[in-house]
């Protein structure tokens, strides 16, 4: 009887422990998986933003080179205009977008802006001169 009583007591002590462990485990795993999915979503969003930013950088460089190329054909007293067709979804602006070629001993400061499909802006300045 003593032996049986001990066994019965041990089993009673363990009653519910496994259930509590499983519940705690499920809660922990649930929180962890939620956090992981959230992290993956953030990484994906960040990756898309990064890709867009790098593309905007390329657009900005192409725009700057177009501006410099336009001024390369300048002659004294002449005029120049900057033309650049950005990729779909991107918009660009140059201020001033053209005009009278700079005087030989001076430069013209241009303000370039690129707007990405998501609405983010990048700005940069370049100088152009008459060759």
Partner 1 sequence: MTRTSRTDRPVRGDRGATLIIAIGFVVMIGAIAAGLSSLVVSAMGDRFILAELRDRQYAADGAIELAVAHVRSLDAAHGGTCSAPPGHIVDVLNEQSIRVDWKHSCTSVRGGDGVVVQQRNATFVACPDTGAACTPSTAVISAQINFQQSTAGVVTHTYVQTWSVTG
Q: How many CA atoms lie within 13 A of 37 on its CB side?
A: 6
Residue 5 CB, shortest distance to partner 1, in Å, is 9
Contacting residue, 1, 16, 18, 88, with partner 1 by CB under 8 A:
18
Q: Cα separation of 42 and 48, whole Å?
A: 10
Cα distance between residue 70 and residue 112, in whole Å: 14
Question: Residues in the chain, how many?
Answer: 131
Q: Binders of partner 1 among 87-106, rule CB under 8 A?
A: 102, 104-106
CA neighbor of 45 nearest in space, from 56, 53, 33, 55: 53
Task: Tell me whether residue 37 or residue 87 sits nearer to partner 1 (CB atom).
Answer: 37
Binding site for partner 1 (CB under 8 A): 3-4, 6-7, 10-11, 14, 17-18, 21-22, 24-25, 28-29, 32-33, 35-36, 39-40, 42-43, 46-47, 50, 53-54, 57, 60-61, 64, 68, 102, 104-107, 109, 122, 124-129, 131
């Amino acid at each position: 009887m003593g032996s049986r009583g001990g066994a019965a007591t041990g089993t009673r002590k363990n009653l519910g422990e496994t259930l509590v462990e499983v519940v705690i485990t499920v809660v922990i795993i649930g929180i962890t998986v939620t956090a992981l999915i959230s992290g993956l979503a953030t990484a994906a969003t960040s990756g898309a933003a990064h890709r867009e930013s790098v593309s905007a950088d390329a657009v900005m460089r192409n725009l700057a080179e177009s501006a410099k190329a336009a001024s390369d054909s300048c002659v004294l007293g002449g005029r120049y205009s900057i033309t650049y067709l950005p990729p779909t979804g991107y918009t660009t602006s140059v201020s001033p977008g053209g005009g009278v070629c700079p005087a030989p001993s001076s430069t013209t400061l241009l303000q370039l802006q690129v707007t990405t499909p998501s609405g983010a802006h990048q700005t940069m300045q370049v100088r152009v001169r008459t060759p």
